């Protein structure tokens, strides 16, 4: 479905059931485009079970994951030319949720339909609109991410399921000081340099931006595996928080060769897209891609970067899930903030403000 169609189409009962802890009137990541092929995909987003699939013309559709006949998940069904067929009694639903065929029965009851949701595919990311009662239809287009489409980078990605609340993932991504302790084998480096990096935190509207510079530092293993650095490097980390996703640009240049503030700087780049979508109050989906700018042997370099990224995210997942388990075990005892928590705290404040405005 195109953005214009998603904004103009009059869906019935478009707003899913909402939990109060989730900020609404937002586009959330529902899937990576690469996930939707020849089978329906069942997924719970913001406590709403749904099925995602491609129609015959390649457009993405999302429906309530429940057949209106006997309640079998439609994600258990099969895709056909005209839509999604239920795997129990064969009712066939089109991308708008309307039943278009009941095997053995000519008349189709008017109530034979399931709730559709507004989805839009853009830059190889599938977005879904979760609106409040005041805004069941989108109030804006889904975010663009031209790193996937501008031809300057190669990228790949995947999806993680977390047994932890989504804001703990935000906290982790907004505070990269942990790299020196958690990611020694990959993107880490000297822990002291990470903890003492020059850091600037800014926030405007519903966006938080964290910029960290680590000058004249030793390049970590991931960097040296992918780029021919001559020695020490000037390294940057630029994090941009949005309510439903984060964009992180990290990289390095040979020391004293280019300004790390220059938007056109060269060197080694890793541009990460991080779609963080709540599944429930206590579980989350983490959609990620990593893009890089190989200067030699592009496919091999991309494979190295993705391999290293997976190792990094595996390490983060262990830490975040263990953190949440311990938070539950200790019954919500208070925690102390330190200097690296500024960005994460601002992001939490933004989410709290949006939640209250949705009430």
Fold of 3-130: Rieske Iron-sulfur Protein (2.102.10)
Q: What are the structural domain ranges in the chain? A: 3-130, 149-358
pLDDT at position 317 is 94
Q: What is the pTM of this model?
A: 0.90
pLDDT at position 359 is 75
pLDDT at position 192 is 56
What b-and-e string marks burial along 94-113, b requiring 16 or more CB atoms within 10 Å of the CB? bbbbbbebbeeeeeeeeebb
Tens digit of pLDDT at every position of the chain (359 positions): 443 333 333 233 334 444 447 999 999 999 999 999 999 999 999 999 999 999 999 999 999 999 999 999 999 999 999 999 999 999 999 999 999 999 999 999 999 999 999 999 999 999 999 999 899 999 999 999 999 999 999 999 999 999 999 999 999 999 877 666 565 566 555 555 555 667 899 999 999 999 989 899 888 888 888 899 999 999 999 999 999 999 999 999 999 999 999 999 999 999 999 999 999 999 999 999 999 998 888 999 999 899 989 988 998 999 999 999 999 999 878 888 888 888 999 999 999 999 988 87
| 225 Cβ neighbours under 8 A, 6+ residues apart | 304, 308
Q: What pLDDT, in 10s, does the model give residues 22-58?
A: 999 999 999 999 999 999 999 999 999 999 999 999 9
What b-and-e string marks burial along 184-207, b requiring 16 or more CB atoms within 10 Å of the CB? eebbbbeeebbeebebebebeeee
Residue from 78, 69, 94, 76 nearest 9 by CA: 94
179 burial level (CB within 10 Å; 0-12, 13-18, 19+) = buried
225, 307 Cβ separation under 8 angstroms: no
Pairing of strands 245-254, 99-101: unpaired
In this structure, the chain runs to a length of 359
31, 43 Cβ separation under 8 angstroms: yes
What are the distances in angstroms from CA 291 to CA 27, 59, 250, 317? 22, 25, 10, 20
The residue written with tokens 């008349």 in the block is: 107
pLDDT at position 177 is 73
pLDDT at position 186 is 62
CB atoms within 10 A of CB 319: 16
220, 185 Cβ separation under 8 angstroms: no
Class of domain 149-358: alpha beta
HSE-up (13 A, CA, CB side) for residue 338: 6
pLDDT at position 190 is 55
């Amino acid at each position: 479905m195109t953005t214009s169609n998603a904004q103009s189409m009059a869906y019935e009962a478009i707003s899913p059931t909402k939990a109060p802890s989730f900020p609404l009137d937002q586009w959330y990541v529902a899937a990576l485009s690469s996930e939707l092929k020849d089978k329906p995909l069942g997924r719970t987003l913001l406590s709403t079970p749904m099925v995602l699939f491609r129609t015959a013309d390649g457009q993405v559709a999302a429906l309530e994951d429940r057949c209106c006949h006997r309640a079998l998940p439609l994600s258990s069904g099969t895709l056909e030319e005209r839509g999604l067929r239920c795997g129990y009694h064969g009712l066939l639903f089109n991308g708008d949720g309307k039943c278009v065929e009941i095997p053995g029965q000519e008349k189709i009851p008017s109530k034979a339909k399931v709730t559709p949701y507004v989805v839009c595919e853009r830059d190889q990311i599938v977005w879904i609109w979760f609106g409040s009662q005041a805004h069941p239809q989108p109030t804006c287009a889904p975010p663009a991410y031209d790193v996937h489409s501008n031809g300057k980078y190669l990228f790949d990605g995947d999806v993680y399921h977390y047994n932890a609340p989504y804001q703990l993932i935000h906290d982790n991504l907004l505070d990269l000081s942990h790299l020196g302790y958690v990611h020694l084998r990959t993107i880490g480096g000297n822990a002291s340099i990470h903890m003492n990096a020059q850091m600037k935190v800014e926030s405007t509207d519903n966006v938080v931006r964290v910029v960290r510079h680590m000058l004249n530092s030793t390049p970590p293993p991931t960097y040296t595996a992918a780029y021919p650095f001559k020695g020490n490097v000037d390294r940057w980390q630029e994090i941009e928080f949005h309510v439903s996703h984060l964009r992180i640009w990290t990289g390095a240049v040979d020391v004293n060769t280019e300004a790390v503030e220059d938007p056109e700087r060269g060197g080694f780049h890793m541009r990460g897209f991080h779609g963080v979508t709540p599944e429930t109050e206590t579980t989350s989906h983490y959609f990620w891609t990593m893009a890089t700018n190989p200067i030699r042997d592009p496919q091999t370099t991309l494979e190295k970067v993705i391999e290293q990224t997976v190792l990094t995210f595996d390490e983060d997942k262990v830490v975040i899930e263990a953190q949440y388990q311990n938070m539950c075990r200790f019954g919500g005892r208070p925690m102390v903030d330190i200097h690296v928590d500024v960005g994460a705290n601002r992001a939490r404040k933004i989410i709290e403000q949006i939640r209250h405005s949705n009430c």
